[in-house]
Structures are given as structure tokens and as C-alpha cells.
Amino acid sequence: MVDSVPATIALMRRLRVATGAFIGIIVLLVGSSLANAQAKGPPQKELPPDVPDAIQAPASEEVVLFAHATGSQIYTCQSAADSKFSWTLKAPEAELHDRNDKVIGQHSAGPSWKLKDGSEVTGKAAAHVDALDSGSIPWLLVMVVNHTGSGLLASVTTIQRVHTHGGQPPAEGCDAAHRDAETKSSYTADYYFYAPAK
């Protein structure tokens, strides 16, 4: 009888350790399942960027798409009414990337933004503010004036161009001898696309 007491205690200890290990495994499995469920859950909503009041999107709208553009601003050498020559913006030419750097569309003349899902918008600049450095093109608020297709851009009404880097025309090289010459300035920018909040 006396000999069985230590054996019983040892057995109880082993059971306790086994039970603890079992509970630990269950906790790990449940935690892993929750993490997977969260990863597969609805995507996080894109927050609007911090911008000056002049280019704020309407309060009734929310961001439905973010795209990072890499490409060029194309300029041509033109004469103005005062006969002075200057570089004039012809069109942007850029690829649009998502947060994972996957190409999702193109930005081109219009200005227009076209996604691989077939949706496309053209817009008209409504306001601008200077970029944070003088060598970069301004930040813009663009109002959409035309829609094509039924993809992600179908309901977009407003676009912001922010966080620009580069894209300004050359400081020289445009004169009578170079009339209609063309040049490209590399740039990057972030575009936020807004639609009426649901």
C-alpha cells in the first residue's frame, strides 16, 4: 500500500504534464486557426492620406483604391501667346501598382486611369498644392468626368495625386530651335481613388 503512493503521485504528475501539453497544443491550433481566419477575412480599408485642405476629397466619399504610379511626365516644347517657349505637359505615361507592387493598370493622356479589370476613368484637375520639394510635380485633386467599364473604377468620382517625386520639366532646352521637341521626366506618385461612401 505504501509503495503504491509514490507510484500514484508519479502517475498524477505525468497526467498533469500530458494534460498541460495537450492544452498547449489546443491553444496553438486555435490561435493558428484564428490567425488564418483573420488573414482570409475582409481586406483592411485604405485610409485617406494626410493632405492640405485645398485637395481634400469630399467628406461623403471613401477611398476604394490605392495605386502607386511609376513612369514619366511627357512634355513638348511650345511657344506661348507672348512668343516665349516653354515645356508644356503633353501626357503622363505610367504603370499603376498595388500595395504588393503588382501592376494593376496604366495612367495616360486624358488624364486617364485604366485598370486591368477593364474599368477606366478620365478626369479634370480641380485643385493643386505644391509638392514638398520644388523638383516634384504638384499634388492634385481631380474630379472624374467620364467612366468606362464596370470594374473597380466604375463608381470613382474623385482622385488625389500625392507623395509625388520628380516629374518636373527640364529647366532649359526649350527654345525656337527646339520647337515641338519632346522630353520625358521620370516620376512616381500615389493615387487615391474615392467613391461615395456606402
Residue 83: CA count within 13 A, CB half-sphere: 0
In a domain, 155, yes or no: yes
Looking at the structure, tell me whether residues 155 and 105 fall in a common domain.
yes
**31 and 112 inside one domain:** no
For the chain, the domain total comes to: 2
My answer on whether 37 and 118 are in the same domain is: no
Least confident of 16-20, 149-153, 186-190: 16-20
Considering the domain boundaries, does residue 114 fall inside one?
A: yes
Asked if 104 and 148 sit in the same domain, the reply is: yes
At 185 the three-state DSSP class reads strand
User: Could you tell me if residue 47 is inside a domain?
Assistant: no
- Give the tens place of pLDDT for each residue, 94-139: 999 999 999 999 999 999 999 999 999 999 999 999 999 989 999 9
**Mean pLDDT value across the chain:** 85
* H helix or E strand, kind and range, residue 49: none
**Alpha helices, DSSP H only, in 85-126?**
none
Q: Give residue 7's pLDDT.
A: 56
Residue 71 domain-assigned? yes
Query: Is 48 inside any structural domain?
Result: no
Q: Which tens digits make up the pLDDT trace of 8-62?
A: 555 555 545 444 544 444 334 434 444 443 444 455 788 999 999 999 999 999 9
Kindly tell me if the per-residue pLDDT of 154 is higher than 60.
yes
Domain that holds residue 28: 1-41
